[in-house]
Amino acid sequence: MEEVLKMSPKERERKAIFEMVKRGCLTLKQAARQNNLSYRQARRVFQAYLKMGDAGLIHKNRDQQSNRKHPHQESIINCYKEKYEGFGPTLACEYLQNEGYHVDHETLRRWLISNGLWIKQHQKKRHHPRRERRAQFGELLQIDGSIHDWFDEGKHTCLLNIVDDATGKTLAVMDSGETSAVIFTALWKWILLYGIPLAVYVDLKTAYISPKENQMSHFQKACQKLGIEIIKAYSPQAKGRVERNHRVYQDRFIKALKISDIKTIEAANKFLEKAFLITINKKFERKARNPVSAHRMLDGLDLNQIFCFESERQIQHNWTFSYEGQLYQVKKSVGEAIAPRSKVYIRRHLNGDLSVWHNDKSVNFIPLTKKELQNQRTQKIKAIKSKSKKEMKYKPQRDNSNLFGPSYSTTQKEREIKQGYSMPYKH
């Protein structure tokens, strides 16, 4: 069976030039100049080519073991197989350093390829024009959620990711889905750490943008109160920085969760805050062109009243309102009284608490139980009955003879008196 030789592009180019020398189209001196070799070296290589064919052009150290073999190569390969199989060479090197092994990522790449443990997959990418980064930190945030099998258990959860466009600084929160609640939680954390950004870049999911033109989503209402501009992204490529950041998380974060044996959303969020985000920002964050932050201060704004779910209700005549199937009673206040049929705003906060607001003032209220509701109905029925009894007192019938002519009873009585046989009056 004929042996298959692997030649580099440089060796294939060298072969084509020496073939022209062999046919007499080029002199050896010209071939040496084209191959960037000295004349003596070109003559040695050409003689080896004439004698051995293609094998004479291949470097003799190829596929040979190095005389300076790494003392821990086998230990590193075994450690990779046991703990880090599937990790890329660069990421594996970072974790191997924690094990006490110091090796260059390119060296590890060659070892993994030679042992059949790593195959680099090249993907053909579509061309998209590059958008220049914003100049200031906080000038634009890209927000998006990545639905993925983060715990490698076949169950998909969401990692809500915020990436600053200027610096690449990232903040992430994990939850069961890409809901308004997790978006509020992540943006709240960002504002507490750095301040209010100028603008956010989001896609057209209903958690961000309401599909109805005359309505706003909870996210749009919160951004309006904070003075944050919302920029819509109409394709994944438009928000490329956060999409690329998703790939970093899907590679590094999944492996970090696996090594740390983390299987719950609560534990993953603690790990993100205390360890992973610090590491990832230290590695990938870059300096903004303008060192001045574009974030704005809170200036006394209560984020608990902004990042909430607000609904409108009407006060009934008995000063009650209904919310999510529960009846509530408005308590008497010292200040301005709330008239029936007035509109109030119910706010459900991220911790589950409720608050009621009327004319930008908080309203005291209590939930009504079934027993209290029944008592109110009973009292109302009694009040109606007592009122109807008062209205049912006897009233003498009005004599309408002058209006509608003599009635039958009056005419009959007069007739009896005239005839003299009316009933005598009893004393």
pLDDT tens sequence across 85-126? 778 888 888 888 888 888 888 888 888 887 777 776 655 555
User: 207 and 272: one domain?
Assistant: yes
Q: How confident is the model at residue 201 (pLDDT cuts 50, 70, 90)?
A: very high
Per-residue pLDDT tens for 349-361? 999 999 999 888 8
125 within some domain: no
**Co-location of 268 and 149 in the same domain:** yes
Using pLDDT thresholds of 50, 70 and 90, give the confidence band for residue 59. Answer: confident
Distance CA 142, CA 422 (A): 105
Please state, in angstroms and rounded to a whole number, the distance separating the CA atoms of residues 286 and 163: 12
Q: How many domains does the chain fold into? A: 4
Domain extent at residue 158: 141-284
pLDDT value for 170: 95
- Copy the structure tokens of residue 260: 């740390």
Which pLDDT score, from 0 to 100, does residue 141 have? 94
Residue with token string 């060796």: 11
Per-residue confidence (pLDDT) for residue 394, from 0 to 100: 53
Per-residue pLDDT tens digits for 216-272: 999 999 999 999 999 988 876 667 788 888 999 999 999 999 999 999 999 999 999
Residues 153 and 46 in one domain: no
Q: What is the mean pLDDT of the chain?
A: 82
Distance separating alpha carbons of residues 230 and 138, to the nearest angstrom:
13
| Gyration radius (Cα) of the chain, Å | 43
pTM beyond cutoff 0.85:
no
- Burial zone of 286 (CB within 10 Å; 0-12 exposed, 13-18 middle, 19+ buried): exposed
pLDDT tens across 357-386, in order? 988 888 888 888 767 666 766 777 777 667
Both 50 and 17 in one domain: the answer is yes
Burial of 107 (0-12, 13-18, 19+ CB in 10 A): middle
pLDDT higher than threshold 60 for residue 409: no
Q: Looking at the structure, tell me whether residues 44 and 95 fall in a common domain.
A: no
Same domain, residue pair 150 and 274: yes
Domain membership of residue 14 (yes or no) is yes
Whether 403 is covered by a domain: the verdict is no
Tokens encoding 407: 């009635």
Q: Are 41 and 156 found together in one domain?
A: no
Mean pLDDT calculated for residue range 134-149:
93
- 374 domain residue, yes or no: yes
Flag whether pLDDT at 2 surpasses 90: no
In the predicted model, is pLDDT for residue 1 greater than 50?
A: no
3-state secondary structure of 222: helix
Choose among 170, 249, 243, 156: nearest CA to 202: 243
pLDDT in tens, 5-32: 677 888 888 888 888 888 888 898 888 8
Domain-located, residue 126: no
Tens-place pLDDT, residues 83-96: 887 788 888 888 88
Structure tokens belonging to residue 233: 């992204």
How large is the average pLDDT for residues 132-161?
92
Alpha carbon separation from 137 to 52, 167, 192, 293 (Å, rounded): 63, 6, 15, 5
Q: Are residues 152 and 237 in the same domain?
A: yes
Q: Which residue would you say has higher pLDDT here, 52 or 292?
A: 292
The pLDDT score that the predictor gives to residue 241 is: 82
Residue 227 maps to which CATH number?
Answer: 3.30.420.10
Whether residues 165 and 254 fall in one domain: yes
Which burial class, exposed, middle or buried, applies to 221 when counting CB atoms under 10 A from its CB (0-12, 13-18, 19+)? middle
Do residues 75 and 101 lie in contact, with contact meaning Cβ atoms separated by under 8 Å?
A: yes
